A and B are shown apart, each in its own frame.
Chain A
Amino acid sequence: MNKTATIIKREFLSRIRKKSFLVMTILGPILMAAIIIIPVIVAQVSDSDYAVAIVDDSNFFYDRFQDTESTSFTPLQTSVDQAIDLMHDGRFDAVLHIPDVAFEAPSTLRLFSDKSINFNVKLLIENTLKHEFESLKLKAAGIDPEILRATETPINIQAFRIKDDGELITDYPEISMGLGFVGGFLIYIFIFLFGSQVLRGVLEEKTSRIVEIIVSSVKPFQLMMGKVIGVGLVGLTQFLIWVVLTFSIVAIFTLAAPDLFRFTPDEQVYISSTQILNAEEMRQQQEIIQQHDSLAGQLLEGLGAVNYPVMILSFIFFFLGGYLLYAAIFAAIGSAVDNEADTQQFMLPVTIPLILSLIMVNMVIQNPTGPVAFWMSMIPITSPVIMMARIPFGVPYSEVLLSAALLILGFIFTIWLSGRIYRTGILMYGKKVSYAELWKWIRHA
């Protein structure tokens, strides 16, 4: 077998057999799937039946509270103290006290509970009272609340992007921004994670002094590239397992509990000012529900409209390109120093462009076609992170190809440069290396 292949195999197998790889591989998708699934579940199951007793001294709002799926309201003709006693007996979870003066002085409203008050219930009560108070005040001012409500006009523009061939595609800038951020961030994490594994691997070979035995059998360049490629394959494997597992977990949940993902509209907190819902109000309610529905629907539609193959393929390319570029430099740093502490002086200038590109991701996803986004997605040291942040917005093929070509040239250059440092560095011990010294190695190697 080819010796470089033997080295790649060892680097790959020794890492994927580690417990930490297994843990990361399993935990990663669970965490990612959890980010998607848990909020949905929490939103659905957190509201258990909650009983609220109402003591209304004004006798005006008793019947204005409507039971919801998870909250029931019971008017009581008792004193507050008696109601609280009943609550202590376990018949109610909370007691709402509306004093006589509540309308004039809303700050006198009180909600008691022997447990911590459920936030959603408090919100529901507040919203209900707010509407009631507003309606009463509007009436007192001689304005018909219905007229006011008729003037409310919900606006939700559908955005389209016209492609070069004239095709209209619905645009979801929020989703593109989210994906852009996640994509750029993942590239950053992956380059750092696996780049530093290369550095530590090279350092380990140097400090354990096995390197001289190995380079008497293979060329230093073969050893360096074997390690870089082997670790890169570990990263790629981990990424692909993550993608497959994340989609599987989400798919399993969607199949097992389809109701959770049907995006039912939020519970309506709208209570009509009058008890009888006339036709006009029914229509308005309906409209609001539809609007909610279409927002949730849009989100789902938007996520569905994402071009996952393009996202995944560009991630793989820009991860590999960026990784090769940085891993080669990390290998050179590992070869030049004697211990981990000495890596600092060389790590800083290398990591600055990476960190800078992560910081700029925020700006780039807000203006993905601006000059900053364009140039940073062309320069090889920043392009992997920045281009990945731009991809979800749709980048012209010519730009992607140019960026890709520059990235390939970039990593060929750093590999060449690092190879020269590496083959001198791995045999150099007990010498604090300066930049001037590195330059000598590059020139004389």
Chain B
Amino acid sequence: MNTLLRAENITKEYANHRALSDVSIHVPEQSIFGLLGPNGAGKTTLIRIINQIIGPDKGVIYLGGEKLKPKHVQQIGYLPEERGLYKKMKVGEQAVYLAQLKGLKAADAKIILKKWFEKFDLMPWWNKKVEELSKGMAQKIQFIITVLHQPRLLIFDEPFSGFDPINVNLLKEEILKLRENGATIIFSTHNMGSVEELCDHIALINKSEKILEGTVNQIKKDHASRIYETELNNLKTPLHKLLDQRFSIIKEKTQNGLINARIKIVDNSSTNELLQTILPQAELISFREITPSMNDIFIKQVTGKFPIEQNSNGNNQ
């Protein structure tokens, strides 16, 4: 897969603090790239640099192999976290104006806008002032304004904040369609869960530094917890006597005569070996791996510990 956007060793310092230190990311073409990290990590700064709103102190950005230049603003669509419109300006006129600033001709912008407005049932609002719109409608218009110049790269900063659930679904559908049509999408959010289902690549940023980057599948594989939840019936030997030092019990409880336990494989043993140890002594009801969420992985990256491990009941051996 080609890389659409390459940020190389970006550093940005403000008067009082360092917002980004030596951050590099590679966004593959036609991917949905999650830029994750807690508030204040430097995500918005990186996005503003990509949008050429501010310049980096150090580092270079390439878009489609070219060094980023002012002309590239036409190829980028940006929905900022803090977003709004001119309240007193008419909806249609405003959308055309913002499209013109992206380099479209007014006549072309109108044709594209009408398609989008019809799709979202917004046509009756074309000549209304923005202040007359509901919040949900204003958000749809902001979304349209972001995508209408058909940019190669779309950047959404906390796109779902403030959207109601219906609009969130609409937005997700449209974003997936845009990708099918060739667009590349960068999502920035501190809410790791919300984009897990959409993203195929992610980068984690914490305290101005990138701490992780890769495909979601690979990262999950790399951060496999090796913790398995199992339900057993008629256990003949207590688990802590049954299991040797290759395994550790994270949690164990008895419910309705069934034993429910989380067992971690400590060394390189396979799940088969674990099952071989257990099966002769009990009837297996269920067995599944606990997969870490992006949130868990992030917390592990930052604190060094998985939250799922910290939930233990003190039954560790």
Contacts and interface: CB of A to CB of B under 8 A. Distances in A.
B100 interface: yes
A173 to B, nearest CB: 48
A218 B82 contact: no
A42 interface: no
Contact of B86 (A210, A219, A429): A210
Contact of A215 (B53, B87, B102): B53
Nearest to B146: A213
Interface string B248-259: 000000000000
Contacts of A212: 53, 78, 80, 82-83
A202 to B, nearest CB: 13
Nearest to B76: A216
B80 A3 contact: no
B51 interface: yes
A217 B70 CA distance: 9
A219 B88 CA distance: 23
Interface string A209-225: 11011111111100000
Interface string B35-66: 00000000000001001111000000000000
Contacts of A210: 83-86
Given A6-B97, A204-B86, A213 B15 contact: no
Given A6-B101, A427-B53, A216 B73 contact: yes
B89 interface: yes
Given A208-B85, A444-B15, A216 B80 contact: yes
A213 B86 contact: no
A214 B85 contact: no
A204 B131 CA distance: 13
Interface in B89-145: 89, 97-98, 100-103, 142, 145
Contacts of A282: none
Contact of B51 (A3, A10, A216): A216
A433 to B, nearest CB: 12
Given A208-B84, A208-B86, A209-B83, A216 B15 contact: no
Contacts of A214: 98, 101
Contacts of A220: 53
Contacts of B83: 209-210, 212-213
Contacts of B101: 3, 6-7, 214, 217-218
Nearest to B157: A212
A7 B103 CA distance: 12
Instruction: Tell me the interface secondary structure of chain B in the complex.
Output: loop
Nearest to B105: A1
Contacts of A444: 14-15
A263 to B, nearest CB: 50
A122 interface: no
Contacts of B88: 14
Contacts of A208: 84-87
Nearest to B81: A212
Contact of B84 (A3, A14, A209, A215): A209
A421 B97 CA distance: 26
Given A6-B100, A10-B97, A440-B15, A216 B84 contact: no
B7 to A, nearest CB: 16
A212 B101 CA distance: 13
A216 B54 CA distance: 10
A217 B84 contact: no
B205 to A, nearest CB: 19
A219 B51 CA distance: 11
A215 B47 CA distance: 13
Interface string A155-178: 000000000000000000000000
A12 B209 CA distance: 45
A217 B148 CA distance: 13
Contacts of B73: 216-218
A396 B250 CA distance: 94
Contacts of A429: 82
A214 B85 CA distance: 10
Contacts of B103: 3, 217
Contact of A1 (B48, B76, B82, B100): B100
A240 B269 CA distance: 88
Contacts of A205: 86
A422 to B, nearest CB: 13
A209 B87 contact: no
A213 B98 contact: yes
A218 B100 CA distance: 11
A440 B97 CA distance: 34
Contacts of B80: 209, 212-213, 216
A427 B52 CA distance: 13
Interface centre among B14, B15, B53, B73 (most CB of A within 10 A): B53
B78 to A, nearest CB: 4
Nearest to A14: B89
A375 to B, nearest CB: 38
A3 B71 CA distance: 12
17 contacts: A6-B97, A6-B100, A205-B86, A208-B84, A209-B82, A209-B83, A210-B85, A213-B83, A213-B142, A213-B145, A217-B73, A217-B102, A218-B101, A219-B70, A220-B53, A427-B54, A429-B82
Interface of A: 1, 3, 6-7, 10, 14, 204-205, 208-210, 212-220, 423, 427, 429, 440, 444
Given A204-B86, A427-B53, A444-B14, 5 more contacts: A3-B103, A209-B83, A216-B52, A217-B101, A219-B70
By Cβ-Cβ distance, the 5 closest A-B pairs, closest first, are A209-B84, A217-B101, A208-B84, A212-B80, A216-B51
